[in-house]
Amino acid sequence: MNNIIDCKGLQCPMPVVKTKKYFDSVESGESTIIVDNLVAKNNVVKLAEGSGYKSIVEEKEDLYFIKITKEKCEVVNTEIKDEKKFTLLVSTDKLGFGDDKLGDMLMKSYIFALSEADLIPNDLLFINGGVKLTIEDSPVLDSLKKLISRGTNILVCGTCLDFFDIKDKLSIGEITNMYTIVELMNNADNTIKL
Amino acid sequence: MNKYYVVTFQNTHEAMKAEREAIKNQIKVVVIPTPTYITKSCGISLKIQEENIQSIIELIKADSIKVKEVFVRDGESVKVVSV
């Protein structure tokens, strides 16, 4: 039976939390999640994709109807992965303490070297002052583009963009919330914090 | 293969000053750690694409920036450029 999770008027991360709660509680099932903003829609779809559920989105009168199906028989992933997953948390736009101008320079140098490294992060998370590296005119955009083309997932803290009032200047990566940040860090084999 | 230039400096302060001058003159430069094939130099260098190297050389000649050496990287080859 199809049921509805009505998230109209709810801001992120509540729609994701409600959706996750429902699907965690059932072995299999189908539900339509109704949200009224694009960020919530994207995050709910991402949750479905990340969990291996099917999702179909319909847009009607400024509302998004996301139909998610969780199948009973989930494919058991027997593939053994050799490569380690690591997450990089960038919490500042300056690398290290001592001198801010030097820190600016070191961060540019670091991100460049990272983009050329053999091992690159699966997830690159930007929080607090770090989000300034992801907006237009950021001196490290080219290096970040290179990381994306090599497979890194770039996620930027929406609360932080909002705080610095630069949400409309975001030039790379996707907006995320603290639940996703916690989950990615907890699931990583290794997390490096700058 | 992409051809580009690497400019090295006597010290970090000169490197930072050169980056500021380049930005002021709207020349695109990329801050990079000095490549390992260039030894005995300050840890920060600037990577410059071919179309911008002439503007950088002009800044060097005008004494606006002080560099140690300019290298050209073309595929696997690295050569010193005399300025």
B41-59 pLDDT, tens digit each: 668 899 999 999 989 988 8
Q: Looking at the predicted structure, is the pLDDT value of residue A15 above 70?
A: yes
Residues whose CB falls within 8 Å of the CB of residue A115, separated by 6 or more in sequence, listed in order: A143, A144, A146, A147, A150
Q: What is the pLDDT of residue A122?
A: 92
pLDDT at A155: 94
Contact between residue A171 and residue A134 where contact means Cβ atoms under 8 Å apart: yes
The residue assigned the tokens 């109704």 is A34
Chain A with chain B: Cβ pairs closer than 8 A: 28
**How confident is the model over A35-52, as a mean pLDDT?**
87
Quote the ipTM score. Answer: 0.71
Tell me how crowded residue B54 is: count the other CB atoms within 10 A of its CB: 10
Q: Do B30 and A102 touch (CB under 8 A)?
A: no
Per-residue confidence (pLDDT) for residue A73, from 0 to 100: 62
Considering only CB atoms, which chain A residues are within 8 Å of B43? Answer: 109
Q: Tens digit of pLDDT for each residue in A47-91? A: 888 888 888 999 988 899 999 998 876 555 555 555 678 899 999
User: Does B43 contact A at CB distance below 8 Å?
Assistant: yes
Tokens of A189: 């084999």
Report pLDDT digits (tens) over B3-53: 999 999 988 889 999 999 999 999 999 999 888 788 666 688 999 999 999
DSSP 8-state code for residue B10: S
Whole-number percent of chain A with pLDDT over 70: 93
Cα–Cα distance, A173 to A179 (Å, whole number): 17
A131 near A95, Cβ under 8 Å?
no
Phi/psi at A69 (5° precision): -120, 125
Q: For the segment A20-31, what is each residue's pLDDT rounded down to a tens digit?
A: 888 888 888 889
Residues 51-80 of B with CB under 8 A from A: none
Q: Do A125 and A157 contact (CB within 8 A), yes or no? A: yes
| A113 contacts B16? CB cut-off 8 A | no
Residue of A nearest to B13 (CA): A102
Q: Which chain A positions have a beta carbon within 8 Å of B33's beta carbon?
A: 109-110, 112-113
Judge whether A43 and A11 are in contact, CB under 8 Å.
no
Query: Cβ of A139 and B31 within 8 Å?
Result: yes
Q: How confident is the model at residue A2 (pLDDT cuts 50, 70, 90)?
A: low
For chain A positions 125-184, those within 8 Å of chain B (CB to CB) are: 139, 142-143
pLDDT band at A133 (very low <50, low <70, confident <90, very high): very high
Mean pLDDT of chain A: 87
DSSP secondary structure string for all residues of chain A: -EEEEE-TTPPTTHHHHHHHHHHHH-SSEEEEEEESSHHHHHHHHHHHHHHT-EEEEEEETTEEEEEEEE-SSPPP--PPP-SPPEEEEE--SS-SSS-HHHHHHHHHHHHHHHHHSSS--SEEEE-GGGGGGGBTT-TTHHHHHHHHHTTPEEEEEHHHHHHTT-GGGB-SSEEE-HHHHHHHHHHSSEEEE-
Please state whether beta strands A153-157 and B3-8 pair in parallel, antiparallel, or not at all (unpaired).
unpaired
CA distance A40 to A14: 8
pLDDT confidence of residue A51:
83
CB contact A101 to B (< 8 Å): yes
- Determine the distance in angstroms separating the CA of B63 from the nearest CA of chain A, rounded to an integer: 22
